[in-house]
Amino acid sequence: MKRIIILCLLLALIVACVPTPEEEFVVNKGDNVTEHQIRSEQSGDAQRFPGRWDEDETLDCGKITVSIHANVMQRTDGVYPVYRTRREVFSQERTAALLSALLGTPKSRMRLESTKDDWKREFQAFVDDYNESTDNLRKSGELTAEVEAISEEQFAAQSAWYAEQIQNAPDTNDPEPVTDFASVPVNDLGARYAMTDGSTAIVSIGREGEDARYFDVSRADLNGYTVTESSCQKQAGWDPGLFAAWKEPSMRREDAEQVLTQELNRLGLSDFSIVDAQKANLMHPYGGADRDGAQRSYTSLSQGWGFVLRRLYGGYPAISSPIEPSASLNYESEPDYAKVTNIPDEEIRILIDESGIISFRYSHPKEIIGIENENVDLLPFSEVQTHVKNTLRATLSGSWFEKGAVTEIEVYRLLLTCYTVHVRNSDDYFEIPCWVVLFDEPLTKSFRDDPDMTPQALLINAVDGSIIQAGY
């Protein structure tokens, strides 16, 4: 495990290492090469690449040797369009349409915010804790005049903050009648809706700056959050309450995927595809850690399958920008395209159980403006190979790596996907073809298919061969 950590720390500094004399480490070389090629150069034929890349000899990168034995994942149709996109916000109209499709017709709405009495109780608990801590310090002789002055100053500031919350809070949170979702505020931090079919739902519209960039819907009697099987097991060491509450789903994955496909078609989201699927529970926390350090308790509201989905741009998903060449990525492969997970970009997370969609989160939506090029002309594979070799030589031959513990690197997979970059002097983006080169230390190869592992990656612009870095 120490070797894995050392490898990640070493390779995380790729961008900062010595520059190569043979290539320029930029996405665009400053002369609009990529933009020109995207707009004017179109391939009339399907573009095919070898399915394997095996080098008989290793690359000499100073102390580190690099072997290349990699599968090459690509689209089967050989067509690589360039989409033009733009960041979108959840407007009142779109929010209402999605909520109506997900939930049906509401009859009442209750805000999920603390009342004046709630804040007063919380403030009293704060005062009690402060007084108890002060008394303990006084009894132990640790309450010096300086400590007491600082403590009183902090207490006064916190008390003023509580006074402001109490003043601004509503007197009550009584349900108010509603007949549709047209009046849902796009900055709503949480409300419980009672539906005409007798169900309830928690709706939260999130913001980024002044814009609504995501929203959450949990169709359950209590608010909760989705916990996947792997994350539950991972957290068991520090939060046994979460692990104890976990329940095994009875629904089969293939049944859940069938329901998911039907729901995406109904919601008008059929251009999204699964990039990850795991058993999942909708968990609700209750209670809290007491003074003896007891763990929080949980209850499982629903058990099913959690899916992560990304939009497909002509058959392959986009990696978000900006991102560093050594950023942690997690990939899976499919016959038709490379799938990418764990990248913060436009994404939908859905929990499916026997009743349908129980939890739905849509983050950072994009709007497709159009197709800039139906099939952009890509670099020959021989040039891609040259760029990969030169880049690895330049980054791994630096003096910093000479002092490290890593002596071997293996390139084991290439993925031809797409990468999100800014259009110059515009708020728009291009989703351009990109080669993702995955590599690691041979000793860690047993972890390559672990969904919780994050292999190292080099990103190369498939149009002009430049090395992708943050920005454009």
Q: What is the residue-wise DSSP string for 260-296?
A: HHHHHHHHT-TTEEEEEEEEEEEEEEES---TT-PPP
**Distance separating alpha carbons of residues 468 and 327, to the nearest angstrom:** 11
pLDDT of the residue at 74: 84
Is the pLDDT at 16 greater than 50? The verdict is: no
pLDDT of the residue at 470: 26
Q: Cis peptide leading into 106, omega within 30 of 0? A: no
The amino acid occupying position 290 is D
Average pLDDT over residues 135-148: 86
pLDDT of the residue at 28: 41
- pLDDT class for 9, splitting at 50, 70, 90? very low
Cβ atoms of residues 412 and 21 within 8 Å: no
**Distance separating alpha carbons of residues 185 and 79, to the nearest angstrom:** 42
Average pLDDT over residues 156-171: 89
Is the pLDDT at 257 greater than 70? The verdict is: yes
Average pLDDT over residues 378-392: 90
Cβ atoms of residues 308 and 341 within 8 Å: yes
- Pick 276 or 188 by higher pLDDT: 276
Would residue 471 be called left, alpha or beta, if left means φ above 0 and alpha means ψ between -120 and 50 degrees?
left
Options 3.40.50.300, 3.30.310.160, 3.40.50.410, 3.40.50.1820; CATH of 88-113+177-318+339-367? 3.30.310.160
**Distance separating alpha carbons of residues 196 and 262, to the nearest angstrom:** 23
- Pick 87 or 155 by higher pLDDT: 155
Average pLDDT over residues 236-251: 82
pLDDT of the residue at 49: 92
- Pick 90 or 36 by higher pLDDT: 90
pTM beyond 0.85:
no
- Burial degree of 137 (CB within 10 A; 0-12, 13-18, 19+): middle
How does pLDDT run across 68-108, given as a tens digit for each residue?
999 898 887 888 888 888 888 788 888 889 889 999 999 99
pLDDT of the residue at 384: 93
Q: Which of 15-29, 239-253, 328-342 has the largest mean confidence? A: 239-253
**117-125, long-range: CB within 8 Å, 24+ apart, which pairs?**
118/169, 119/162, 119/165, 119/166, 119/169, 120/166, 122/162, 123/159, 123/162, 123/166
Would residue 51 be called left, alpha or beta, if left means φ above 0 and alpha means ψ between -120 and 50 degrees?
alpha
pLDDT of the residue at 336: 25
Least confident among 68-77, 315-324, 367-376: 315-324
At residue 318, φ and ψ (nearest 5 deg) are -100, 150
Least confident among 60-64, 147-151, 236-240: 236-240
pLDDT of the residue at 78: 87
Least confident among 156-160, 312-316, 341-345, 370-374: 341-345
Residue found under tokens 């002596």? 407
Cβ atoms of residues 441 and 97 within 8 Å: no
Average pLDDT over residues 40-56: 83
pLDDT of the residue at 27: 38
- Pick 16 or 357 by higher pLDDT: 357
pLDDT of the residue at 202: 85
Nearest to 338 by CA among 37, 49, 3, 138: 49
Is the pLDDT at 337 greater than 80? The verdict is: no
